[in-house]
Structure 1
Amino acid sequence: MEKEVIISARHLKKVFGSGESEQVIYSDFDIDIFKGDFTVIMGASGAGKSTLMYSLSGMDTPNAGTITFCGTEITGLNSDELAVFRRKNCGFVFQQIYLIDKMNLMDNVITAGSLTSRDKADIVKRANELFDMVNISAVTRQKLPSLISGGEAQRAGIVRAAINQPSAIFADEPTGALNSNNSDAVLDVFSKLNETGQSIIMVTHDKKSALRGNRVVYIKDGEICGDCDLGKYSAEDTERSEKLEKFLKDMGW
C-alpha cells in the first residue's frame, strides 16, 4: 500500500547572507516525508540538516519553493498563522532541554497542552499516560527540572513535545548531550512513540540513534545523495547495523 505523504517540499532554496558572504544551503531541494515514518536526516556538519528540519516544521522560512504540511502550504502563511499551525501540528525536541525552570515537569507539560486544549482533565490524563510510557514516576513528575537527571529532563521534553498529539515530532540531535544509558532511554521513547503511529523527523550524527529510524536520508552539498530503507526497528535485527554502516560508507561518511 502506498504511504501517505505528510510533508512535501519542492524546489526549496535557502540562502544565508548576501553578496560575497552569501552561503547557499540548498538551491533546488525536493523531499517527501511519510506519515508514520521515523525519518532520520544525516550528513556532514554544514550539510543543511538542521536548516532543512526547521524549514519543514515552519520554524524557518526558505527563500524560495513550497512546503505542504498536512494539506496546508505553510510557505504561504504569515508568522502568526505559522505559530498557530506549529502549535497544532508540530512537537519539538532539541539537544538543549528547554523546560521552564520554575515549573515542575507536570506543569511544564500541562502548560504546553493548554496551548491547544482547554480541557485540563484530558491534558492531565494524556500527560500521565505519556509519563508512564517514558518511565517517569509520579514523584518525579512533581520535581523541578534542576532536581532531575539530564535523561529524565529529555524524556520529559519528549512528553511535552507529544502532549498535543502533533502530526510530527521534530528532533534535533536529541541525544547529543546525554551519556550512553540516558541516550538509550530517550531513543526507546522515540521508538515507542513511533510504534503508536507517531511521525518523527530526527537530525543526528549518531549511528546508534539513526538505527531507530526506518528511513535514513543522507544530505550532502544541499542535496539528497542517498535514501536508505531500514525497515521497522527491532533490537534483535542484527543485519540492521551492517546495512546502515554500508549505506553511510557509500555516502562517504
Structure 2
Amino acid sequence: MNKIINGDSIVKSFGEGVEQRNVLDGVSVEINEGEFVSIMGSSGSGKSTLMFALSGMDRIDSGTVVFDNKDLSAIGEKQLSDIRRTEMGFIFQQPTMLKNLNILDNIILPSIKDNRKNTETIAQKAKSLMKRVGISELEKRDITQVSGGQLQRAGICRALMNNPKIIFGDEPTGALNSKSAQEIMDILSEINTEGTAVMIVTHDAKVAARTERILFMRDGKIVSEMKLPKFNGLDIEDRVEKVTSKMLEIGI
C-alpha cells in the first residue's frame, strides 16, 4: 500500500527559555492511501499538534513531513496553502463559516476562489454533496438556522469539494450529541470506503473504535497503536471495549 504521508522525527515546541517544551518530541508516523486513522490522548498529549504538523497547518521545528512525495517542511507558504486547499480537506469541532453567507455559499466559497468562471458547476457539485449527506433542503439557510450536526455536515461538504486525497478532522464529533456523532462517523466511513484517507483526532473511544488504526499519544510521543478490522456496523461494543482497555493499559 502506498504512503500518502510520511512524518519522520517531528519536533514541535512552544514557549521560550525555561518555559519551552516539546509538544511533539521526535514523532515518526506513516499514513497509507485510503487508511482510516484516529489519534487519541489526554489533553496536552500533542494529538492535535501532530495532526496540524502532518497537514502542514503548523510548521515544525525539525524533522520532515512528506505528503504525496512533497516535503511540506521545505516548501513556501503559498505552495503549502495551495496543497491544503486542493489536495486536503479539513473538518473542525466548530466549523468556521461566515455569518453573512448561507450554507451553500459557505460550502462553495473556497472552491470559487480557484475557479470563478465555473461558479454554476461548483454550485451543482456542492448541491450534490449536500444531498448525499442529507442537508439538500438547507442550502439557503443562514448558519444560525441549522443544528450543530447539520453544520458539521456542511463542513464535510466543503472539505470534499476539491476531491481531497485525505481528510483531517480535529474532534469532528466533539460538539455533537451521540446520534449526530454517529451520523457524522457514518458519512466519514462511507467517504473512506470510497478511497479517501481519513485522519481524526478524538477523545471518544466510541469514535476511535470506528477507525482501523488508533495512535495513542502521551507527552508528545506515540506510545502505542492498535489495529482493528474494517468496521462492519455490528461489532461496535467489542471494539469500544478493546479501545478503552488499551487506554487504561497505557494510562491515557
TM-score by length of 1: 0.94
Per mean C-alpha deviation after superposition, the further-off stretch among 180-189 and 27-36 is 180-189
Name the % identity: 36
1:171 maps onto 2:208 in alignment: no
Note if contact 1:88-1:116 (Cα within 8 Å) is conserved in structure 2.
Answer: no
Evaluate the alpha carbon distance shift between residue 36 and residue 116 of structure 1 in structure 2; reply closer, same or farther with a 3 A threshold.
farther
| 1:185 equivalent among 180, 183, 186 | 183
* CA distance in 2 between partners of 1:236 and 1:125 (Å): 35
TM superposition shift of 1:107: 1.1
* CA distance in 2 between partners of 1:230 and 1:121 (Å): 42
One-letter code aligned to 2:94: Q
For 1:114, what is the secondary structure of its paired residue?
helix
One-letter code aligned to 2:247: L
* CA distance in 2 between partners of 1:52 and 1:67 (Å): 11
TM superposition shift of 1:40: 0.1
TM superposition shift of 1:182: 1.7
TM superposition shift of 1:82: 1.1
Residue 82 (structure 1) aligns with: 80
Residue 245 (structure 1) aligns with: 244
* CA distance in 1 between partners of 2:121 and 2:196 (Å): 19
For 1:99, what is the secondary structure of its paired residue?
coil
In the TM superposition, 1:12-31 aligns within 5 A as: 12-31=10-29
For 1:227, what is the secondary structure of its paired residue?
strand
One-letter code aligned to 2:144: S
| 1:6 equivalent among 1, 4, 7 | 4
In the TM superposition, 1:6-155 aligns within 5 A as: 6-117=4-115, 118-137=117-136, 139-155=137-153
1:205 maps onto 2:203 in alignment: yes
For 1:151, what is the secondary structure of its paired residue?
helix
* CA distance in 1 between partners of 2:81 and 2:94 (Å): 21
For 1:65, what is the secondary structure of its paired residue?
strand
Note if contact 1:41-1:219 (Cα within 8 Å) is conserved in structure 2.
Answer: yes
Residue 158 (structure 1) aligns with: 156
TM superposition shift of 1:219: 0.9
* Paired positions, count: 250
TM superposition shift of 1:242: 2.7
For 2:247, what is the secondary structure of its paired residue?
helix
Residue 194 (structure 2) aligns with: 196
Gaps of 5+ in 2: none
* CA distance in 2 between partners of 1:116 and 1:52 (Å): 28
Per mean C-alpha deviation after superposition, the further-off stretch among 242-251 and 105-114 is 242-251
* CA distance in 1 between partners of 2:113 and 2:45 (Å): 34
One-letter code aligned to 1:211: A
Note if contact 1:113-1:163 (Cα within 8 Å) is conserved in structure 2.
Answer: yes
One-letter code aligned to 2:118: D
One-letter code aligned to 1:191: S
One-letter code aligned to 2:91: V
1:167-208 CA-to-partner distances (Å, cap 9, x unmatched) read: 111111111111222212222211121111111110000112
| 1:234 equivalent among 210, 215, 232 | 232
For 2:99, what is the secondary structure of its paired residue?
coil
Note if contact 1:230-1:244 (Cα within 8 Å) is conserved in structure 2.
Answer: no
One-letter code aligned to 1:243: K
Note if contact 1:16-1:24 (Cα within 8 Å) is conserved in structure 2.
Answer: yes
